[in-house]
Structure 1
């Protein structure tokens, strides 16, 4: 006779599956955005998700692990590197970002930033990795548009610099929209940023004008003649 799994054991199996993980993440994302990191407990998340409190550490070990998983999932949905691989224009990426921002949970990003800035532990490290992934997405998007004949070393350096600048601008607009939602037009601001960036994207690879050839006696030619 085939053995049957008792009800408590069956529930335990169900609670360590992908569906329970998703429910925990959904509940945690909502609660972190509503109450903040410090005011949300595993008990709160258990009640909201319908998953037992004891199953949460099985999935995420501790609260830091849970919050990092929440942030990683939320950002991947909005501005993961793969988004840049499939769209030809930055405006389309920022349009998706605006939709996520309006979802109601995007304040989570800054709540976790606060936690990351006051610690040097796992949250801090993971937030660094999150920012690096966002910059990497911009770099990938730029690389797909890189003109032929541009020196790769120079191009990579400039692409990294522009990725930092763009990421900073998007984050600034996001923060303003959260603090003063009635004071700015989110869509207009993001599309203005995209328009300026798309219009001047060629400047990313514009190399500086070479210095004029030095006159005899003042440059390397003079030093070479003295060494003879």
Structure 2
């Protein structure tokens, strides 16, 4: 196999994907989504420009992949099962992401999603749906025996929406006004509110 063929195989592997994501995450944070091109990402990553669409199809797909990986470093959806730590531990993991330096990506993507009905819009909806689903799985793991599963599932979805919205709101306030928003204290308060009211969430449907 010639050197060009070997290079092509090398550039469609997982290591190349990681290098592209690393470069894109740095560039999006430094100069924004709109001002970053595939040429910029190729130069920073050392991967040819033509190989980037093979991994991510387009720039929108690359942006969503960067965001998903950034969040998953601290709060992977598959963590939501019966072996989970407390909610406050999970939310403090979210705080570590907020303080990582690149968490403004979430709002960069949100801006793109709200200004179009195209790929970023649909992919951001999917991203939020995955996060809400993670919260639902965590709640389901706490669900006591004897609860009507249909009623419980509906209430858990509502809590997942509320909790996801609260996280986004706290996150945004911290980025915009960091001197007057104590991130960890706010997240601890949110966890306490949820934990305190969990029994009420299922109470009326228990034993139905």
User: If the TM-score is normalised by the length of the shorter chain, which range does it land in?
Assistant: over 0.9
Per-residue CA distance 1:72-99 (angstroms, 9 max, x = gap): 2222223332122241311111111111
User: How far did residue 151 of structure 1 move?
Assistant: 1.4
Match of 1:64 in 2: 60
The 5 Å alignment of 1:1-228 reads 5-85=1-81, 86-207=83-204
User: How far did residue 30 of structure 1 move?
Assistant: 1.6
User: How far did residue 54 of structure 1 move?
Assistant: 1.5
- TM-score (normalizing by structure 2): 0.92
Query: What is the rounded CA distance, in whole Å, between the counterparts of 2:63 and 2:22 in structure 1?
Result: 11
Asked whether the 8 Å contact 1:83–1:93 carries over to 2, the reply is no
SS at match of 1:166: helix
Per-residue CA distance 1:132-165 (angstroms, 9 max, x = gap): 1111111111111111111111111111111111
User: How far did residue 12 of structure 1 move?
Assistant: 2.3
Query: What is the rounded CA distance, in whole Å, between the counterparts of 2:3 and 2:77 in structure 1?
Result: 42
Asked whether the 8 Å contact 1:135–1:164 carries over to 2, the reply is yes
Asked whether the 8 Å contact 1:23–1:49 carries over to 2, the reply is yes
The size of the alignment, in residue pairs, is 204
Query: What is the rounded CA distance, in whole Å, between the counterparts of 1:177 and 1:153 in structure 2?
Result: 36
Query: What is the rounded CA distance, in whole Å, between the counterparts of 2:85 and 2:196 in structure 1?
Result: 13
Query: What is the rounded CA distance, in whole Å, between the counterparts of 1:148 and 1:61 in structure 2?
Result: 46
User: How far did residue 206 of structure 1 move?
Assistant: 2.8
Asked whether the 8 Å contact 1:158–1:204 carries over to 2, the reply is yes
Name structure 2 gaps, 5 residues minimum.
none
Per-residue CA distance 1:153-207 (angstroms, 9 max, x = gap): 1111111111111111111110011111122111111111112211221121132
SS at match of 2:73: helix
RMSD (Å), alpha carbons: 1.5
Query: What is the rounded CA distance, in whole Å, between the counterparts of 2:151 and 2:4 in structure 1?
Result: 61
Q: Which has the larger radius of gyration?
A: 1
